[in-house]
Structure 1
C-alpha cells in the first residue's frame, strides 16, 4: 500500500506529534541540566517518556484517520473531531505533567495539597478523554475496510489492544495495600505503579520499571503501542510480498496478522498477570516462564501453518496489466 503524504494526514495530530518531539528534546535537555531526582528517578524522565509515547501514538492515529477518510468519507468528520479532541486532552496532560516537574512535585497519585489534588484530578479527566476519543476512532475504524484485509485487521486488532492497554492505567489509581493499611481518610498519595513494593525503588534505566516488584506500567505501555507495531507488521508483510511467494497471497498475510494479534494479546495478558502478582519483569517465576514459552511455541506454530497454502503468483504478462492488486494478490513475484 502507498503511504499518504503527511500533508493529507489529520493536521492537529501531526502538529501535536511535532510539538511533542520538541517537548521530548526539551525534557532530554532537562535531564542533562537539572539533577533533581523524584521518587528515585530523574525528575525530567516522566515528561520525556510521555512526549516520546505521544509522538508514535498520534502519528499512528493520524494515518488511520486518513485511511478512514479515503475508505468511508462520511465517517471522516466524526473521526477528525475525535482526533482533535485527543490532541486537546494530550496537550493538557503534557502541560500538567511538566508543570509539576517545574514545581518539583509528583504529578500522578498526588493529593498532598488542594492544588496537587486538582492537578491529579485534571490528569485523570484527561486520561478518560484520551481513552474515549481513541474508542470513538476505533469504533469508526471497525466500520470500514481501510486497505487490504491484512492491514485492515491489523489496525482493528491494534485499536482493541491499545484501548485495553490504556485501560490498564486505571488499575494504578486504586489505593495500594500499604495505603489501605495506613487507614488514612485523606492519604497524600493514592494509587501507584508498583505492586508489592513502594513506588520509587530500583528500576530499569530510563523506563524506571521496578526490578523488585510488579509494575503496571509495563502492560500499560505494551498494550498502548500495539497501535504502531501491528500495522507496521502488516505494512512490512506487504512490502516483502513481491519477493516471497508465500506472502504474495493476501490470505497468508491476513493469517500472519491474526496470529501476531493473538500472540500480542497473550503477551499483554501475561505481563498484566505477572505485574498483578508483584513479580518484576526481569525476575519471572516458573509459571510466567512456562506461559511465555507456550505463547512463543503457539505463535511459531501459527506462523508456520499460516505460511502453508499460499497461492502461486500470477505470471508477469498474465491477468491485469502493471502488476496491480487483483483479488487480494500483489504484482509480479521475485524469489
Structure 2
C-alpha cells in the first residue's frame, strides 16, 4: 500500500468528528427519548446518518491523501460535500427535535421546504462525489490492485448514492408523505436490530447503504491483501491481488444488484425466496471461480512467487 503523500482533507476530518459527536448525541436520544416517528425510535435515523457520514468522510479523506499530487478541484469538491452533508444533518436533527419526519415530509410549507432542500443537497453531494471519483480515477495510486480498488469502489458508491432516488415519490399511503423506504408495506413495519431494515417487506435502504459503502470496503480489501502478503507468498504476486480485487468488486456490485432486485419485489432481506437464493448462489460461484482464476495466474509467474 502506498505511503500517504498528502495531508488528510481537514474539512472532511472536522465533519467526521462532528458526526461522531452527533452519533453519541443521537444514541443518548435513543435511550432517553421515548418518542416514535414513522414507527421507529425518533433518534434512530439521525444516529444511522451520523455514523454513515463518519465512515464516508474518513474514507474519502484517506483516499484523497493517497494521490501523489494535490488537486485544487478535488479539495473544493470535498469541501462542497462537507457543506452539503452539514445541511443534511442540520435538517435531519432539527426535524427530529421538532418531533416530525425529515424525509418525504410535505405536510406543511416549512416541512416541504426542508424536504426539497434535502433533495437538492443530496444532488450536490452526488455530483461532488462524482467529480472526486473522476479525478481519483485518473491517478495511479500504488499498484494496479490498489488503484482499481479505489476506482471500482468509487464507481459502486456512486451507484449506491443514486439508488437513493428509488425512494422519493413512492406511494406511502400517508397524506403529505411523498415517498417511502419499504416496498409492499407502509413505512414503520418491524425492523432488524441496529439497521432498522424491514423484516416483513422489501426495504430500499438496503441497496442504498450497501452500495454507498463500497467506498470503504474495496480499498480496505486491497489493503488487507497487502498485509496478508507478508505471510502468504501467493499474494505477493501483483496479478493475484489485482484479480482478487476485481473479483471482489464484481461480487460486491452483483450483491448490490441482488438486494435492489429483492427489495423492489417487496421481499425482506432475511426471508429470501428460491429465486433470490439461486441468484445468490450464482454470485458465490462466480466469485469463487474468479478467485481461483486469480490464484492460478500466479503459476504463470512462478519465479515471482519463489522470489
Instruction: Classify the TM-score, shorter chain.
Output: over 0.9
Contact 1:248–1:313 (Cα < 8 Å) also in 2? no
Please report the TM-score for the alignment, with normalisation by the length of structure 2: 0.95
Correspondence 1:147-162 to 2 at 5 A:
147-162=142-157
The match for 1:79 among 74, 78, 98 is: 74
Q: For 1:56 and 1:294, how far apart are their aligned partners in 2? A: 30
- Give the CA deviation at 1:313: 6.3
**Could you say what secondary structure the match of 2:167 adopts?**
helix
Q: Tell me what 2:226 maps to.
A: 238
The match for 2:209 among 221, 229, 246 is: 221
Q: Tell me what 2:118 maps to.
A: 123
Please report the TM-score for the alignment, with normalisation by the length of structure 1: 0.88
Q: Tell me what 2:66 maps to.
A: 67
Asked if 1:294 is matched to 2:293, the reply is no
Per-residue CA deviation, residues 286-315 of structure 1 (Å, 9 max, x unaligned), is 00000001101110111111111323466x
Q: Tell me what 1:8 maps to.
A: 7
**Could you say what secondary structure the match of 1:9 adopts?**
coil
Q: For structure 2, which runs of at least 5 residues remain unmatched after alignment? A: none
The match for 1:200 among 188, 212, 224 is: 188
Asked if 1:136 is matched to 2:124, the reply is no
Which stretches of structure 1, 4 residues or longer, exceed 6 Å deviation after superposition?
Answer: none
Q: Tell me what 1:57 maps to.
A: 56
Q: Tell me what 2:98 maps to.
A: 103
Q: CA RMSD in A?
A: 1.7
Q: Tell me what 2:32 maps to.
A: 33
Correspondence 1:290-329 to 2 at 5 A:
290-310=278-298, 311-312=301-302
Q: For 2:293 and 2:168, how far apart are their aligned partners in 1? A: 42
Higher Cα Rg, which structure? 1
Per-residue CA deviation, residues 236-259 of structure 1 (Å, 9 max, x unaligned), is 001111211110111110000000
Residues 142 and 49 (structure 1 numbering): CA distance in 2 closer, same or farther, change over 3 Å? same
